[in-house]
Structure 1
């Protein structure tokens, strides 16, 4: 463990466990500490995953001088307060997607981090994967000609999960699943969007369960995106060009990329290389950026996180999707807040 980069995890849910397993498989980094809102939960998690330190509150972990990077794996609704708390403690931050509930929250924490020289990134893992670069190489080669349209879908039957059903947790399919389709479109076509058309269906609490989103770009290209918290989808992305098309198998963690010509013949197939969990790439990128004294990762710069949230804010407004309390405390960051405020529940 000597000399290895030390990561602390806030939260003990599914994503926290996946990250702890990832860190355990890496040589240059260790999962040094975990924090929950109860000591019992933290102790159980630490014992199960072989973590050295277990804290019964987030602030205890954030006060540990040995923690070099904090990974935040709490519900969307808690990201803003948890990130603020970590930044006020001077900790570098990797926060799960969706990064915040809205663009204003993200803008505030990014501005503070940049002002103080603290690293922070959204853990949008697809942006860090090597297959993202491979997809871009294929597009740049011109093998399918000029791309003009794409489709992408991501759906899982998760409608019974509290993080999906509850407005107070920042629920709905958009922030949990639609964010992946939006990021896929952004990685392929960029963000020069002229209009967004969206419709959705709702649960009894007003959270979106099915989302259909169409992006119209200023150069005439289009992206048609679907996200569902009710149904399983094929998770595919298809990019249509003037001389052929590309089918991406699993936009959530690209497993393979098939290239077809104008006669529908498969002319190339690119298989994903072996990976640990797929989360190791974002951890590596964060460590490199921190060591270079940067405040963001080139793979997922702050500007991209802000743009994705801007799109989702627009979509939510169009579909009248609101979260209670999401506009609270976004005027400024009070540097006394870390010492004065009671810790928020993480709803684990």
Structure 2
């Protein structure tokens, strides 16, 4: 068992922290590194985690990364990181198609893992990864940050309160022009809009309309996509019909920008969530489309701190998953995206 798993009392007594390592040194790794550095200066987290190591395929790049963010050590290969017994938690920050193989390697090296979304490229890969997690008893959780943000609870509480009445429909969109990034347009890396940005509207619906608040399940899917020249999906439209008649429509794209909003419509009014990728505020409207009130969300470092803290606390408590994104939800969302791609007739080269 890993160094600190299930040893909260011992860790507190000895002043030990959860040593976090980052596997990969791309754009999102920099966001995580900045988050970790800021967490060490925040009294809520300073005694919980330590930015410890980074690994990249280039030693100089890893060393520069470590120096910039104050990491203790750096490695020019992933294998060196996995051999370090001081690593407690590995944040996997590589493209989707690599997550399963790298996650399994981490678990077999006695490392807990926080895996950037999409958890894997498909449900089969996720099942394989989770089977190894079950065998090791280590923490394995998906780092889809919207599942951990405080705004999730705020939205759920508003729906439960009945302030907008009975929910009948929802819409959500997330679009960014990102075709300049090689991995985004590469089928071999499971590129495309769905796994990169489309995953957020689908998770928005799942949190607001799915198992969090009712027994509602998806009864039917209507969807279409416009392919990019490389074969990945470039613009997606997805409509989910739930078994109680609620309709949810999502749009995602790697070609254009959008307002990133999410709207939940009820019989007594509706709410608009500003930026479903990291809700900045929520506006409630009545049946006459008059603003009833605005709700701010709590100030945060970057938003990544919530998933890191959840993972670190789960490790100290000896839990194999985080309640914010349990394994069952990760699998269910990947099966949904597999089903959507099946309707499109889109397969990745490795499938």
When normalised by structure 1's length, the TM-score is 0.92
Residue in 2 that maps onto 1:95:
115
Tell me if structure 1 keeps the 8 A contact 2:54–2:81: yes
Q: 1:38 aligns with which of 50, 53, 58?
A: 58
SS at match of 1:51: coil
Tell me if structure 2 keeps the 8 A contact 1:199–1:211: yes
Residue in 2 that maps onto 1:329:
none
The alpha-carbon deviation at position 243 of structure 1 amounts to 0.5
Tell me if structure 1 keeps the 8 A contact 2:173–2:251: yes
Tell me if structure 1 keeps the 8 A contact 2:108–2:136: no
Residue in 1 that maps onto 2:285:
260
Residue in 2 that maps onto 1:77:
97
The alpha-carbon deviation at position 289 of structure 1 amounts to 1.1
Q: 2:208 aligns with which of 159, 182, 188?
A: 188
1:147-158 alignment runs, 5 A limit = 147-158=167-178
Q: 1:25 aligns with which of 38, 45, 48?
A: 38
SS at match of 2:298: coil
The alpha-carbon deviation at position 115 of structure 1 amounts to 2.5
Structure 1 stretches of at least 4 aligned residues deviating more than 2 Å after TM superposition: none
SS at match of 2:318: coil
Residue in 2 that maps onto 1:271:
296
CA distance in 1, matches of 2:346, 2:29: 27
CA distance in 1, matches of 2:58, 2:245: 53
Residue in 2 that maps onto 1:55:
75
Q: 1:235 aligns with which of 238, 255, 260?
A: 260
Q: What is the number of equivalent residue pairs in this alignment?
A: 326
Q: Which runs of 5+ in 1 are unaligned?
A: 327-348
When normalised by structure 2's length, the TM-score is 0.91
CA distance in 2, matches of 1:73, 1:293: 23
1:113 aligns with 2:133: yes
CA distance in 2, matches of 1:177, 1:34: 26
Q: 1:3 aligns with which of 16, 19, 29?
A: 16
CA distance in 2, matches of 1:269, 1:165: 38
SS at match of 1:220: coil
1:316 aligns with 2:336: no
Q: 1:177 aligns with which of 179, 197, 204?
A: 197
SS at match of 1:248: strand
Residue in 2 that maps onto 1:340:
none
The alpha-carbon deviation at position 21 of structure 1 amounts to 0.6
1:159-190 C-alpha deviation (Å, 9 max, x unpaired): 22112111111110000000001100100111
1:47-92 C-alpha deviation (Å, 9 max, x unpaired): 2222111111111111111110000000111111110110110110
Tell me if structure 2 keeps the 8 A contact 1:162–1:169: no
The alpha-carbon deviation at position 104 of structure 1 amounts to 0.8
The alpha-carbon deviation at position 239 of structure 1 amounts to 0.4
1:285-324 alignment runs, 5 A limit = 285-324=310-349
The alpha-carbon deviation at position 287 of structure 1 amounts to 1.1
The alpha-carbon deviation at position 140 of structure 1 amounts to 0.8
Tell me if structure 1 keeps the 8 A contact 2:100–2:128: no
The alpha-carbon deviation at position 113 of structure 1 amounts to 0.7
Tell me if structure 1 keeps the 8 A contact 2:119–2:330: yes
1:113-133 C-alpha deviation (Å, 9 max, x unpaired): 123211100001000001110
1:318-344 C-alpha deviation (Å, 9 max, x unpaired): 112221224xxxxxxxxxxxxxxxxxx
The alpha-carbon deviation at position 3 of structure 1 amounts to 2.5
CA distance in 1, matches of 2:124, 2:189: 18
Question: What is the aligned-residue RMSD (CA, Å)?
Answer: 1.2
